[in-house]
Structure 1
Amino acid sequence: MLNTEARLQLRELLPLGMVATKSWLQAQGLSLHFLDNAVRSNTLVPLASGVYTRDEGKVSWKGVVDSIQRMSESPVHVGGLTALELEGLSHYLSKGNNPRIHLYSDSPPPRWLSRIKIHTQLEWHGTRRIWPLDVMKNDRYVRQHEWQELLPTLGYSCPEKAILELLASVPKTISFEHADQLMQGLHNLSPRKLETLLLACCSIKAKRLFLWLAERHQHSWFKRLTPSLYDLGTGKRKIAEQGRLEPTWKITVPKDM
């Protein structure tokens, strides 16, 4: 028999659809003896060594990522293209049997993440070349996605932050054309948030690309930005192979753009 009080605590700590490590559950006050008995009784179901879900609940990428966010000491956000998709700002939703979810953190992914099987590819992006830690810790730049009733919410980057994260990956994992189409739809960005993020952003490439695309589409918020205040580095930056030099922001872009 499982201790009733501990069983209720487990239900609170580990909602259906989420995962937890043995070490984290112990740190929350559950004994090793109780956890071992919970596994024997199938109350806890192992997904990998030391990683559990509860009562054979189905685990989705949202449950896994929400669980990482709860257990991690460092901020971990859904960001980039995935954050824009959650906000309804992308016409290119990740489709197929193995969609790609973009996660951003200044810490490496937990080791157990590669040992569990979900039908989604989680792509981990280090943020030290994009954001200072104070931006990652600032709730002003994070929105909440209620992915399942009565469960914790999933934290994802606001659109102003997400587009800069996405542009840092051009053209390696996202094309100029796709980035251009996404920027075209970003009519309602906050110039105040953009100003703060552009001042803080560590990626010269992301900032120059952002300003080029913003100027290209002439959104109303672009006129309220002050590029002279941002650290845009010096010299020319080659981004597009065999592209042409854009004279204002000094980046190479595709010739047909």
Structure 2
Amino acid sequence: MKTATELADLGVSNSLTQRYIKEGWLVSVGRGAYAKTHGKVTKLGALHGMQYESAHLVHAGGRTALELLGYSHYAAMDDRRFFLFGPHKCKLPEWFRKRFQGADIVFSASSFLPFSLATSFTRYDAGAFAVTVSAPERAVLELLYHVPAKVGFNEAFQLVGGMGTLRPGIMQELLEQCATIKVKRLFLYMARESGHRWYKDLEKDVVDLGSGKRVIVKGGKLDKEFQITVPVLSEEVLF
């Protein structure tokens, strides 16, 4: 899939684009977006087009990024729920919304994490193109942003449990700049319970964890250290 801007940068003028459409080589998938005739427009391909237009501000994050980077038992197939993130007040282009109308896409326009921290992003090679996705340290906080409404607590806990190679320096920066108290407390709780070696390298005393209790899941138990109500973890979840 290519946007009009990308085609123009490749030397394909608007008139030539219209000729390709007339001759059946290209089809319009929305205003300013085109694909090869009979070609499949995937979510990753569409994301590549969006990023070409918006300097990578919209990116695959949370569970989707973790799936792409190999941290999940599930592959990031096109029929899986697709998590996208962008800055506060950012909107997805009209062509994307129309093309994937009814698809299971969760878009969060939020600046609860800084977009200026370059090391919190990475590139994912999709074969014919590459897209910007959240690095594991950013993705895990985005994952917890959606617990429990769109991501289950147990699933998130198991994903955090498999992240033994997080970079504590980048994790520290993100935690200190994260604007969501729930996410920070939940991450530190899950990291502690998972027993990761990098957990002891985090300077938890300089992370603003707010005050008062937070209920993550109703009917659970209160964790006294982080003052969050969470489910009672079963052996199946722990191991």
Where on the TM-score scale, by shorter chain, does this alignment land: which range? 0.7 to 0.9
Query: What are the ranges of 5 or more consecutive residues in structure 1 without an aligned counterpart?
Result: 1-17
Is 1:43 the equivalent of 2:43? Answer: no
1:105 aligns with 2:89: no
SS in 1 for 2:208: coil
Deviation at 1:219, TM superposition (A): 0.7
Structure 2's unaligned 5+ residue stretches are 235-239
In the other structure, the counterpart of 1:184 is 161
- Between stretches 154-163 and 108-117, larger displacement belongs to 108-117
Q: Following superposition of structure 1 onto structure 2, how do residues 1-257 of structure 1 map, counting pairs within 5 Å?
A: 18-20=1-3, 22=4, 25=7, 31-73=13-55, 75-93=57-75, 98-106=79-87, 107-117=90-100, 121-128=104-111, 130-135=112-117, 138=118, 140-148=119-127, 151-256=128-233
Q: CA RMSD in A?
A: 2.4
Task: Calculate the TM-score normalised by the size of structure 2.
Answer: 0.87
Shift of 1:241: 1.2
Instruction: Give how far 1:42 is off.
Output: 2.3
**Contact 1:19–1:51 (8 Å) recurs in 2:** yes
- Say if 1:61 and 1:120, in contact at 8 Å, map to a contact too: no
- Which has the higher mean CA deviation after the structures are superposed, 103-112 or 202-211? 103-112
- Which residue is 1:4 aligned to? none
- Closer/same/farther in 2, CA of residues 89 and 29 from structure 1, 3 Å limit: same
User: Per-residue displacement from partner, 1:231-255 (whole Å, max 9, x unpaired)?
Assistant: 1111111221122211100111114
Structure 1 residue identity aligned to 2:94: R
Q: Which amino acid aligns with 2:109?
A: G
Q: Highest Rg: 1 or 2? A: 1
Identity of aligned residues (%): 33
Q: 1:37 is matched by which residue type in structure 2?
A: R
**SS of 1:133's equivalent?**
coil
Q: Is the 8 A contact 2:114 2:174 kept in 1?
A: no
- Give the AA of the match of 2:47: V
**Aligned residue identity for 2:86:** S
In the superposition, relative to structure 1, how do residues 28 and 72 fare at CA in structure 2: closer, same or farther (>3 Å)?
farther
Specify the alignment match of 1:13 in structure 2.
none
The alpha-carbon deviation at position 58 of structure 1 amounts to 2.6
**Which residue identity does 2:17 align to in structure 1?**
L
- Offset at 1:180? 1.1
Deviation at 1:25, TM superposition (A): 4.8
Return the TM-score normalized by structure 1: 0.81
